[in-house]
Structure 1
Amino acid sequence: MVTNYFELFQLPIKLPIDSGQLTVNYQQLQRQYHPDNFAQATDNEKVAIIQKSAMINDGYQTLKNPLKAAEYLLSLQGVDVATEQNIIHDADFLMEQFSLREKLDDIESQNNVELLDDFHSEISQRKKQVYQQLLDDISQQNWQAALNQIYKIRYLARLIEQIEKLQEKQFAL
């Protein structure tokens, strides 16, 4: 049986996740299932405790990341988040991505730190807007729309990574 991370950490199955409560519950579970507490246990029990501890860590890493938590919540609803990898059914968004990449190329060729910083802020803001739409789609149980928002966030996150690499490169100069 697959463990539901929301149930494991005694959290409601909704987003956004209360990160403070997640951390408190994670720390309690970590203390409860710490291998040192089971020094006298049999080898089989020790293996089970180590597996439980690993699952607690995995659940925490999943739920503390907003995008991973959204992907996980959709998977609980039977939505296959991995298979349709990067298929976006939104022509306007794809055109926007194309123009944003062109803009990044232009900024890179100009070697302008201020323009790059402004572009970083613009794309970060756009990512927040898409995440808010994702939360709205999830609250309305519109799983396909939510899945499209996840794909959009992935695109924007990759663009942000490229911008940050350029920022590092410029900073090193």
Structure 2
Amino acid sequence: MVNYFELFSLPIQLPVDVAQLTTHYQQLQKQYHPDNFAVVNDINKVAIVQKSATINDGYRTLKNPIKAAEYFLSLQGFDVATEQSIIHDTDFLMEQFVLREKLDDIESKDNFELLDDFYAEIVARQKIVYNELLQFITNQDWSKALNQIYKIRYLARLIEQIEKLQEEQFDL
């Protein structure tokens, strides 16, 4: 498996320096762009296309703070993609229940302004959980870090629902 941090000559740490990532990404894309290898044989073309795809995948992964955190934890030996996402934090689960009820209430009122305010609230909540995740990673408290990933996923799904409702309201 290719280590994306090494691919982009970045320190293996979070948060990722996106400016440095972008600079290295652009350099690698220029170097491995398939158009630069139009005259090579088919076997080498396949290798170049695969390398270019790896560069693009690595960039998308490390550019997204949540995906970068999941990837970082995978480098620590955790299978965050298939891991059971069981949250044992009952307060958080209750909060999610309340937030979903609030979203249902806002949706029934069909109030775009309330929806925007709620969106801002959830995005701010997700940032708090992400910052807590970074602290747990710094302290190498892996079980709490994994729990934060699962919490972020809950919040991300809620954000997606809100964005879908915002799009629907915009289309009216």
Q: Give the structure 2 partner of residue 36 of structure 1.
A: 35
Q: Give the structure 1 partner of residue 62 of structure 2.
A: 63
Q: Which runs of 5+ in 2 are unaligned?
A: none
Q: Which runs of 5+ in 1 are unaligned?
A: none
Q: Give the structure 2 partner of residue 153 of structure 1.
A: 152
Q: Give the structure 2 partner of residue 4 of structure 1.
A: 3
TM-score, normalised via structure 2 length: 0.94
Letter in 1 for 2:37: F
Task: Spell out, residue by residue over 1:82-130, the C-alpha distance to the aligned partner (whole angstroms, 9 max, x if none).
Answer: 2224321211111110011011111112222222221111111101100
Q: Give the structure 2 partner of residue 113 of structure 1.
A: 112
Identity of aligned residues (%): 74
TM-score, normalised via structure 1 length: 0.93
After the TM superposition, which residues 16-55 of structure 1 pair with which residues of structure 2 at under 5 Å, given as runs? 16-55=15-54
Partner Cα separation in structure 2 for residue 67 and residue 51 of structure 1: 24
Name the SS for the 1:81 alignment partner. Answer: coil
For the 8 Å contact 1:22–1:60, the answer to whether it is kept is yes
Partner Cα separation in structure 2 for residue 74 and residue 108 of structure 1: 36
Partner Cα separation in structure 1 for residue 55 and residue 6 of structure 2: 11
Q: Give the structure 2 partner of residue 84 of structure 1.
A: 83
Q: Give the structure 2 partner of residue 169 of structure 1.
A: 168
Name the SS for the 1:3 alignment partner. Answer: coil
Partner Cα separation in structure 1 for residue 49 and residue 163 of structure 2: 37
Letter in 2 for 1:89: H
State the shift of 1:24 in Å: 0.7
For the 8 Å contact 1:85–1:151, the answer to whether it is kept is no
Partner Cα separation in structure 2 for residue 108 and residue 50 of structure 1: 45
Name the SS for the 2:35 alignment partner. Answer: helix
